[in-house]
Structure 1
């Protein structure tokens, strides 16, 4: 299946500190590519995989489910841990949700977590009907491209595959139920104006997590903040986060 231009995965071999970047639902690695390249310039080993069913067609994605996407990230994490002394996981939107799940499952195998506009709560009423709708309605209008910055576009699907989306509530419930397992430091960037993920997800994290959680508001970006006006703050903040919590030094200084 041909991959959409710009949706290719990215990998950079750097130093002893690794970062796994997780893109969002119906999106692609393109939304995180500038972030990945920024960290690579600082000497970080970076893995940014393309999740199964993403970056091709929404019809193909309808043949996948959250377990497929998570499995590909779990493998990428194992590969990074085989080459790096310490690994951080970071993600956007649903990628942020799966980054949190990786931290829940792998414990000390994940040094810290950075998420941007994470989606961990079912805040879309239509999704409650998805288990029934998937038999009648293969897709609905998409959610990609929520960017405030003029001239910037996200590579992803203009349609949301309903069958794939119907698997999300199970993932959300798992992440919510196991949040107390996360003892690593967690940094959350969230946009004040987000037309995709409602404030309920960050509110849930604040209510359930302790002093290991830090949140920072983005005032000039929409949902895909990694391509938006506040992207620089995310990139710099995540690198400072690594420097603060890694026990081994980075190989370069920006």
Structure 2
């Protein structure tokens, strides 16, 4: 398999008896989660950053996969950590956040951290994907993106500049599945959401908070970040709050 950058590949950092599964988002790569992974590894955690099928190579590969493939990737990552770790925490960005919610609904996850997980999105045209896919194979991402990236972090800003419309249909399916059974989540939950997210409506975080049944739950509201907040200006705050949450 040919990756478009070395950081687009999965990563696995050995550590102690507590493991963290990191899951990137739709059209993204493990590069978006690598800074967080490095931060957690320095604190002694075993960290596994997975690559979802159809990502990190070429955009045409997205047409070959389904939501079931992505969920199975997440399950496989969770089960791999569960074999060696006493506790397993799942942390995901965007679609990866939805996958962490699905894992927490179906498996004995110890703690879950959905970051910018979509329940409601701004792009109304996205909901027409089931029809649009018959007329258009790919779409470019709109908006202004994440803005300038410091030279030292440019290798972490890696993902496709567009997406498969067919694959978007599968993302919409995952979003529905994730929201449907939120009431099944009872493990401690830290929800992270930026108020200035240009992709996911911030109300998504409140919906997740209100519907899960976890006795320990909280929302970390970001003030200055775009959607891919794990490589944004508040990344260090994210690292600190996640570490604090996992230590409790």
Place the TM-score, normalised by the shorter chain, in its bin: over 0.9
Report whether the alignment pairs 1:43 with 2:41.
no
Tell me the distance in 1 between the aligned counterparts of 2:80 and 2:209: 31
**Contact residue 184 and residue 212 of structure 2 kept, 8 A:** no
* DSSP 3-state at the match of 1:223: coil
- CA RMSD between the two structures: 1.7
* Aligned counterparts, 1:100-139, within 5 A: 100-106=101-107, 109-121=108-120, 123-139=122-138
**Contact residue 23 and residue 94 of structure 1 kept, 8 A:** yes
Tell me the distance in 1 between the aligned counterparts of 2:67 and 2:173: 9
* Aligned counterparts, 1:1-254, within 5 A: 1-5=1-5, 6-106=7-107, 109-121=108-120, 123-142=122-141, 146-148=145-147, 150-151=149-150, 152-153=153-154, 154-210=157-213, 211-244=215-248
Moved over 4 A (4+): none
In structure 1, runs of 5+ residues without a counterpart are 245-254
Question: How high is the TM-score relative to the length of structure 2?
Answer: 0.92
1:145, CA displacement in angstroms? 8.1
Question: How high is the TM-score relative to the length of structure 1?
Answer: 0.90
**Contact residue 29 and residue 56 of structure 2 kept, 8 A:** yes
1:213, CA displacement in angstroms? 2.2
1:68/1:132 Cα in 2 relative to 1: closer, same or farther (>3 Å)?
Answer: same
In structure 2, runs of 5+ residues without a counterpart are none
Worse-superposed segment, 158-167 or 125-134: 125-134
Tell me the distance in 2 between the aligned counterparts of 1:149 and 1:130: 30
Paired residue total: 242
Tell me the distance in 2 between the aligned counterparts of 1:28 and 1:220: 22
